[in-house]
Amino acid sequence: MKCRPAMALLALAGLAAAQSGAQAGAGVKAAGQAEDDPHRPSCNSASCRKIRSFLKAHYCGESPFGNGPEDSCDVKDPKPDKTAIDVIAHFECQWSETQRKDVCQQHGQPPSGVHGILIRELRRLGLPAAEDTRTYFTLWKSRSSGWSLAEGYNAHLAGSDVTLCQVILMIGPNSQVVVVRELPFQKTDADVPMATTWSLLDLTDIDGDGRPDAILRGDAYEDHWIEVHSVQNGLPRMIFSGLGYYL
């Protein structure tokens, strides 16, 4: 499982804890968290169960995983299907032992129009102009629909704190811009971050309505899950949240 830079070390520690804690005490915590879990609401309708089955088949690894719930799973990080998606821009980050921080490398750049939209949205979320050099971009475009999934992401580690800012957009073939997820610019503890970031998993028509859906992984402290977002009547709508695991 690949995480955004701010969550990478936590994820490595979390995977070990998840594997060792999958049996010991899992039932107690799973029952407690399931009572009021905003990331894993009840999934009782036929359409929800269909989406969940698709996600488990394509984006879940080891299951059960972590401390629950019963359908918990490690979230895989599949590469985009290049027969269906054009990867115009993406970035990757790796931990550097010598620099003691994540070192990120940008591959490709979004077109100036999309770049400008992402920067504008990040400014709206409070990102200072001085942070532009530490901002990274992802842009995927569906070949069949013309819809795009775009991301602007900024993370900076300074001592025991990390500053974060992120926006994820769906952009239609007629340049319609819909904000799917956003994280306002903020500082939080690097070891126990009180923030949620998201990673792109896929852009595909998951519910059969002819429109592509954005599939994301949510990452919070000791909690990871899958979300599916659609655009309906020009507005964003989350049509699924669940699976993944917590510690």
Asked whether 191 and 206 are in contact (CB, 8 A), the reply is: no
3 state SS for 167-196: EEEEECCCCCEEEEEEEEEEEEECCCCCCC
Residue 189, beta-bridge partner list: 161
What the block records as the tokens of 54 is: 């698709």
Section 40-61 average pLDDT: 94
Asked whether 146 and 173 are in contact (CB, 8 A), the reply is: yes
pTM equals 0.85
Q: Strand, coil or helix: what is 233?
A: coil
pLDDT in tens, 63-91: 999 886 788 999 988 788 888 999 999 99
User: What amino acid occupies position 222?
Assistant: E
Q: How confident is the model at residue 247 (pLDDT cuts 50, 70, 90)?
A: confident
How many other CB atoms are there within 10 angstroms of residue 108's CB atom?
12
pLDDT in tens, 215-226: 999 999 999 999
User: HSE (CB half, 13 Å, CA atoms) of 195?
Assistant: 25
What the block records as the tokens of 229 is: 């977002």
At a CB cut-off of 8 Å and minimum separation 6, what does 78 contact? Answer: 58, 59, 201, 202
pLDDT in tens, 8-50: 444 433 444 444 444 333 333 444 444 578 999 999 999 999 9
pLDDT in tens, 169-205: 999 999 999 999 999 999 999 889 999 999 999 999 9
